[in-house]
Structure 1
Amino acid sequence: MEFNEVHKYELFDAVDIKGNKLNIDMVRGQKYPEGYYHVVIEIITMNEKGQVLVTKRHPKKNYGLYWEITGGSILKGESIIQGAIRELKEETNLVTTEDQLKLVYDEVYHDGLFKGFFHQIDTRNQVIILQADETIEYQWIDKCEFVSFINREDFIPQTRKRILRAWEILEDYIYCP
């Protein structure tokens, strides 16, 4: 099987611009009429030391070798929270609960409804294991360096824009004196 062959069969619930399910399945990579969206989550994870997690994308993925925060599409039948918990576990091996996820932004970009979460976690009893074919490296960035880091050329541009547009809310969580 070719790289990411499995991902092309992922199914999503089609939703309207308000997030209401349309009872139509979307298949990753296929084109749909305007007004059909799928939900994508992004998670900014901060550990007990005040460090923010970033991961580097696999070189064969779109934006290969760029840094990002944890994220991915919500699969058919999942709630937004279930998908966020699953993505975090799949991509990083970090286990979290619903009450640790705080919605900080909600934006439309192309055919995606992006839900951005802030997530604070105690990692002392957890080990990061990266998902094969998704990410190849990770770093914990000091919260005071996070904005500088996401402004690098090798950080996914649209994710950077969403984070910066939500900074007024995020700053309450990622306060740096």
Structure 2
Amino acid sequence: MTCVKRELFEETGILSEDFEEIGSVVCDEDHCIFYTFLCVTDWDKMSITLQKGETISYRWVNEKDFISFVNSEEMIKTQKQRYLNYLNQKGYLWT
């Protein structure tokens, strides 16, 4: 969990102890495993500090806007695939 906490802080400036692993994907062609974590926070969105050269942009959205985003063409397809089980569990995907 220490790596997740460190990465979140390095890329956004957010400090949190509240993480939930929501999935993992084995990527054979890259010989790696991607772990996906959820962090729910009440961090002030005006206090976000993006890491230069690492994070280009971000969106701070409420749950309704997030559901619209994951059902749009804006979400990267491989990213959506990584979150698919979680999105289905939450009932976020429109049929």
State the TM bucket, normalised to the shorter chain: 0.7 to 0.9
Q: Secondary structure at the match of 2:61?
A: strand
Letter paired with 2:20: K
Could you tell me how far 1:105 is from its partner in structure 2? 0.9
- Alpha-carbon contact 1:91-1:134 (below 8 Å) kept: yes
**2:71 counterpart of 1:130:** no
Could you tell me how far 1:118 is from its partner in structure 2? 1.4
Structure (1/2) with the larger strand percentage:
1
- Alpha-carbon contact 1:106-1:115 (below 8 Å) kept: yes
Q: Secondary structure at the match of 2:24?
A: strand
Could you tell me how far 1:101 is from its partner in structure 2? 0.6
Structure (1/2) with the larger helix percentage:
2
Could you tell me how far 1:125 is from its partner in structure 2? 9.0
Query: 2:38 is matched with which residue?
Result: 118
Letter paired with 2:86: A
Letter paired with 1:127: S
Distance 2:23 2:56 in 1: 27
User: Between Structure 1 and Structure 2, how many residues are aligned?
Assistant: 90
Higher alpha-carbon Rg: 1
Deviations 1:97-153 (A, max 9, x none): 1xx111111221232212111111121497100011112322212211213213443
Match of 2:70 among 145, 150, 155: 150
Distance 1:153 1:130 in 2: 25
Distance 2:45 2:66 in 1: 24
The 1:165–1:126 alpha-carbon spacing in structure 2 relative to 1, beyond 3 Å, is: same
Query: 2:81 is matched with which residue?
Result: 161
Distance 1:146 1:95 in 2: 22
Task: For structure 1, list consecutive stretches of 5 or more residues without a partner in the other structure.
Answer: 1-80
**2:24 counterpart of 1:106:** yes
Distance 1:115 1:155 in 2: 18
- Alpha-carbon contact 1:93-1:130 (below 8 Å) kept: yes
Q: Secondary structure at the match of 1:137?
A: coil
Distance 2:52 2:45 in 1: 22
CA RMSD of aligned residues (A): 2.4
Q: Secondary structure at the match of 2:83?
A: helix
Q: Secondary structure at the match of 2:47?
A: coil
Match of 2:61 among 141, 153, 169: 141
Query: 1:88 is matched with which residue?
Result: 8
